[in-house]
Structure 1
Amino acid sequence: MSVEIKTMRDIEAMRVIGRMAGEQLLLIGRSLKAGMTTDDINTIVHEDTLRRGAHPSQLGYHGFPKSVCTSRNEVVCHGIPGRERLKEGDIINVDITSNLNGFHGDTSATFYIGKPSKDARHVTEVCRRALELAIAEVREGARMGDIGAAIQQYAEAQGCSVVRNIVGHGIGRSMHMPPDVSHVGRRGTGLRLKAGMVFTIEPMINLGRPEIETLPDGWTILTKDRSLSAQFEHTVVVTKAGCEILTARHEPLVNSEITESGESLVAPPGASAAVSASL
């Protein structure tokens, strides 16, 4: 497997598109509210992407019909926006990939619609922390298995499971390219990381078992046991000292975290829930 090492010019271009994708998640967080449809989310992302002079990478990708993936409650990933309406207590992952000047930026977050249940909060916060731990493993000389091990060890210790069939991926001038980034693994095994590698880490954490199934539409993937699922994703570049999060956001996400007391923080008028930490 040949993994591309990005040039400084490539990385700068990916910073630009990564920053844009992160800003689009901020826009979505401010917009979410009970009663809106997932197609409303698609419209917001699509119009904002075009306004910025970019293109929605997902639109038309292997026939995918929309500009963003919206994965609600038991949907693990690749949910197709449509007429379904968000309800109080839902969790929903919004996965944005945009293309600007030939480079792709890919990021996602799981949002709360109103006050989540104990289970919804648990699986979402476990996933958020698992991504943080995974990113902390990334540095030149580390092994790909270190990333998966960090996610798996933490998630399983919290009583959750990790989806095995879907992985992170290299990204650059193509939306998907080597290397594959498994979210389970053994430390000290797998590809050795080198400075200049760029890839996504995007764990999908289930409240129940890890098995999944695909709906007849060929895209929507659900937990087989219909338990809740959450996902967070960043695009990172490996550096000598660690890594840089190319899709880092300049401010917290609205609708993506609740206080320790379980109460929703104040959101903008018409929106629900709260504010996230750095991830």
Structure 2
Amino acid sequence: MTITNAEELEGLKAIGRIVADTLQGMARAMEPGMTTRELDAIGRRMLEAEGAQSAPEVTYGFPGATCISVGEEIAHGIPGDRVLKAGDLVNIDVSAEKGGFFADTGASFALGEVRPEVARLARDGRRAMELGVAQVRSGRPLAEIGNAVGRFAAKRGYSLIRNLASHGVGRSLHEYPEEIATWPNRDRRRIHRGLVLTVEPFLSLGGRMAVQDSDGWTLRAAPKALAVQYEHTVVATERGPLVVTLPGGAGASRA
């Protein structure tokens, strides 16, 4: 989507705030002994209370309102009977639609205390996303997102999952530019003013590709390793990125 007027921006900001608040609400509610299905139900209630609907559910028939991936699962985890326990690394991905506008956000959370290397991975995963977001500006190459993330990952000794990319969003869950690499690349396309896209690198302790489970949805890293994902929906402006997936009704703000 390309934002062309204030009304469109307000519509995008509204759904951005909804998914951000839902993500944070789920994270606050998460506790050991809860199943991922119970956690997903909290997210569903929050979306429905705002008049929004789950984007993966209505777009792709995903069996849940949100994607919840635990431990060795890195994305698209199906909510179910898995019981959360202290020390788990949990990724929550929330995307939704309201009024014809879509927004997408996600984050990885440590449930209680985790090993020092996992805590470091989580901190650095968020920083990698922030560095990618900072590259979003009208006129800049799309490749700068992945190149910035790649420099950071290499410096800190991480690998990147190279078949899970960022994407355009706004009027549908996935749209032009359909694939935006979050690893070093030579993409010649340029970012134009008003372009709406996600920035969502997957930082890993050794994984390089995502492979799908037999359930047709859940993704794991290959080679087997933990990975984290952080994601914002961003609008490109001439002055830099406008992040619309901020909680608390803050609206769009520069990263």
Task: Tell me, yes or no, whether TM beats 0.5.
Answer: yes
Q: Is the 8 A contact 2:207 2:224 kept in 1?
A: no
Superposition deviation, residue 225 in structure 1:
2.8
Residue correspondence of structure 1 range 61-80 to structure 2 within 5 A: 61-80=59-78
Q: Is the 8 A contact 1:60 1:66 kept in 2?
A: no
Superposition deviation, residue 12 in structure 1:
1.5
Runs of 4+ in 1 over 4 A off after TM superposition: none
Superposition deviation, residue 250 in structure 1:
3.6
Q: Is the 8 A contact 2:67 2:75 kept in 1?
A: yes
Match of 1:19 in 2: 17
Match of 1:254 in 2: none
Residue 108 of structure 2: SS of its match in structure 1?
A: strand
Superposition deviation, residue 92 in structure 1:
0.6
Superposition deviation, residue 140 in structure 1:
1.0
1:7 aligns with 2:4: yes
Residue correspondence of structure 1 range 121-200 to structure 2 within 5 A: 121-179=119-177, 180-186=179-185, 189-200=187-198
1:201 aligns with 2:202: no
Superposition deviation, residue 190 in structure 1:
2.3
| Equivalent residue letter for 1:185 | P
Superposition deviation, residue 186 in structure 1:
4.0
* TM-score normalized by the length of structure 1: 0.85
| Equivalent residue letter for 1:94 | I
Q: Is the 8 A contact 2:59 2:173 kept in 1?
A: no
CA distance in 1, matches of 2:77, 2:126: 20
Range that drifts further, 107-116 or 54-63: 54-63
Match of 1:94 in 2: 92
CA deviations over 1:64-117 (Å, ceiling 9, x no partner): 111100011111110111111111111111000111111111100111100111
Superposition deviation, residue 244 in structure 1:
0.4
Note the aligned Cα RMSD (angstroms).
Answer: 1.7
CA distance in 2, matches of 1:74, 1:155: 20
Alpha-carbon distance change, 60 to 12 in structure 1, aligned in 2, over 3 angstroms: closer
* TM-score normalized by the length of structure 2: 0.93
CA deviations over 1:135-167 (Å, ceiling 9, x no partner): 111111111100000111111221111111111
Residue 128 of structure 2: SS of its match in structure 1?
A: helix
CA distance in 2, matches of 1:79, 1:10: 31
Residue 58 of structure 1: SS of its match in structure 2?
A: helix
| Equivalent residue letter for 1:182 | A
CA distance in 2, matches of 1:157, 1:178: 31
Alpha-carbon distance change, 230 to 248 in structure 1, aligned in 2, over 3 angstroms: same
CA distance in 1, matches of 2:184, 2:153: 13
CA distance in 2, matches of 1:183, 1:142: 15
Superposition deviation, residue 40 in structure 1:
1.0
Unmatched 5+ stretches in structure 1 = 252-277
CA deviations over 1:238-262 (Å, ceiling 9, x no partner): 00100100102249xxxxxxxxxxx
Give the structure with the larger strand fraction.
Answer: 2
| Equivalent residue letter for 2:216 | G
| Equivalent residue letter for 2:4 | T
CA distance in 2, matches of 1:75, 1:159: 21
Superposition deviation, residue 60 in structure 1:
4.3
Q: Is the 8 A contact 1:17 1:100 kept in 2?
A: yes
Unmatched 5+ stretches in structure 2 = none
Q: Is the 8 A contact 1:169 1:178 kept in 2?
A: yes
CA distance in 2, matches of 1:186, 1:155: 14
Superposition deviation, residue 206 in structure 1:
1.1
